[in-house]
Homo-oligomer: A and B are copies of this chain.
Amino acid sequence: MTGLEILTVGRVGVDLYPEQSGVPLAQVRTFAKSLGGTATNVAVAAARLGRRTAVLTKVGPDGFGDYVRQALTGFGVSPDHVGTAADLLTPVVFCALDPPEDPPLLFYRLPTAPDLTLTAEDVPWEVVEQVPLLWVTGTGVCVEPARSTQRAMLERRGRRAHTVLDLDYRPMFWSDVDSARREIGWMLDHVTVAVGNRTEVEVAVGTADPDEAAARLLDRGLSLALVKKGAEGVLVATQEGSWTVPPCPVEVVCGLGAGDAFGGALAHGLLAGWEPVRIAEYANAAGALVASRLACADAMPTPAEINELLERV
């Protein structure tokens, strides 16, 4: 893709959203299918904001793999770097809106997910080196061979701005928290921006205190750290200072994808050269809009929708 602006690396899959809210998985009657996976959703969210994006990931040789490529194309995200893992299945994830704010997920990605089998052969090395914004996730280094592949990518990238790490810690993907701290910690020395919630920064830098965590992240040489504090807003920290941006109040329909909408807007704002506080406000609004909707990828907001919400609050 000529003029690619953002390459995200990581999960892809099919999300199955319940069409009945407030009941456990056992009582859901029907599910709506949607494109999913955090790295994928971030690429979709940034594309919705006008960015030329691609996702580096893999699917299985099945009908859902076909769907992933078709859906990406439909969202204006390049499917050129979606590979195929011959013996695996495209991951599916079921969720129950019980509670809607923090839906429990049931992942089908055994024995492993195709995206975790990324090898050097799958990587577009020139893109990794030159793309204006590279987006990686903590989950991407949870197992081999994806771990070594992403380490090699970050080394090749040479901490060029913008290299963003979504801390994205999900305990079920790790054998233990110490491994996660070690591996995600390694990544911190190779990126320029990090974003995560209290749990995620605790895994990454050993404290759940937002100010202390942000300070530790900046000490590692990052230019920007964002710590999500839930109802208390987002802490934005740079070498110049730190600010807390309040959340956008919305009626939550499904909390999933809000973080990815935030991520897509963050990537967009970084490329636009906005001030960090403006980026966080914009990203907060994008996240709030997705939280007020059922789907993730299908629900990523347009600039007009974000601006309208920002004017209202």
A: residues with CB less than 8 A from B are: 16, 19, 24-33, 62-64, 66-67, 70, 88-89, 92, 94, 96, 104, 106, 108, 110-111
- Alpha-carbon distance between A19 and B16 when the two chains are bound, in angstroms: 14
Q: Which 10 pairs from chain A and chain B are nearest by CB?
A: A25-B63, A26-B67, A26-B66, A111-B111, A108-B108, A110-B110, A30-B32, A31-B31, A26-B63, A62-B106
- Alpha-carbon distance between A28 and B32 when the two chains are bound, in angstroms: 9
Query: Contact: B110 with A111, CB < 8 Å?
Result: yes
Q: How far is the CB of A131 from chain B (nearest CB, A)?
A: 28
Query: Contact: B19 with A30, CB < 8 Å?
Result: yes
Closest to A65 in B: B26
- Alpha-carbon distance between A16 and B104 when the two chains are bound, in angstroms: 19
User: Which residues of B are found within 8 Å of A63, using beta-carbon distances?
Assistant: 24-26, 94, 96, 104, 106
- Alpha-carbon distance between A193 and B3 when the two chains are bound, in angstroms: 67
- Residue in B29, B67, B94, B96 whose beta carbon sits within 8 Å of that of A32 in the complex: B29
Q: Taking chain A's interface residues, is the majority helix, strand, or loop, or is none over half, making it mixed?
A: mixed
Closest to A63 in B: B25
Closest to A104 in B: B63
Query: Contact: A64 with B106, CB < 8 Å?
Result: yes
Q: A16-B31, A30-B33, A63-B106 are in contact. List 13 more A-B contacts (CB 8 A).
A: A25-B62, A25-B63, A25-B64, A25-B66, A26-B67, A26-B70, A27-B67, A29-B33, A30-B30, A30-B32, A62-B106, A63-B96, A63-B104
Q: How far is the CB of A142 from chain B (nearest CB, A)?
A: 17
Query: Contact: B96 with A108, CB < 8 Å?
Result: no
- Alpha-carbon distance between A32 and B32 when the two chains are bound, in angstroms: 9
Q: How far is the CB of A22 from chain B (nearest CB, A)?
A: 14
Q: How far is the CB of A53 from chain B (nearest CB, A)?
A: 21
User: Which residues of B are found within 8 Å of A88, using beta-carbon distances?
Assistant: 110
- Alpha-carbon distance between A145 and B16 when the two chains are bound, in angstroms: 32
User: Which residues of B are found within 8 Å of A66, using beta-carbon distances?
Assistant: 24-26
User: Which residues of B are found within 8 Å of A106, using beta-carbon distances?
Assistant: 62-64, 89
User: Which residues of B are found within 8 Å of A64, using beta-carbon distances?
Assistant: 25-26, 94, 106
User: Which residues of B are found within 8 Å of A25, using beta-carbon distances?
Assistant: 62-64, 66-67
- Alpha-carbon distance between A30 and B29 when the two chains are bound, in angstroms: 11
Query: Contact: B92 with A92, CB < 8 Å?
Result: yes
Q: How far is the CB of A92 from chain B (nearest CB, A)?
A: 7
Q: How far is the CB of A238 from chain B (nearest CB, A)?
A: 43
- Alpha-carbon distance between A27 and B71 when the two chains are bound, in angstroms: 10
- Alpha-carbon distance between A16 and B28 when the two chains are bound, in angstroms: 12
- Alpha-carbon distance between A94 and B66 when the two chains are bound, in angstroms: 14
User: Which residues of B are found within 8 Å of A108, using beta-carbon distances?
Assistant: 89, 92, 108
User: Which residues of B are found within 8 Å of A32, using beta-carbon distances?
Assistant: 29-30
Closest to A87 in B: B110
User: Which residues of B are found within 8 Å of A16, using beta-carbon distances?
Assistant: 16, 31
Q: How far is the CB of A296 from chain B (nearest CB, A)?
A: 15
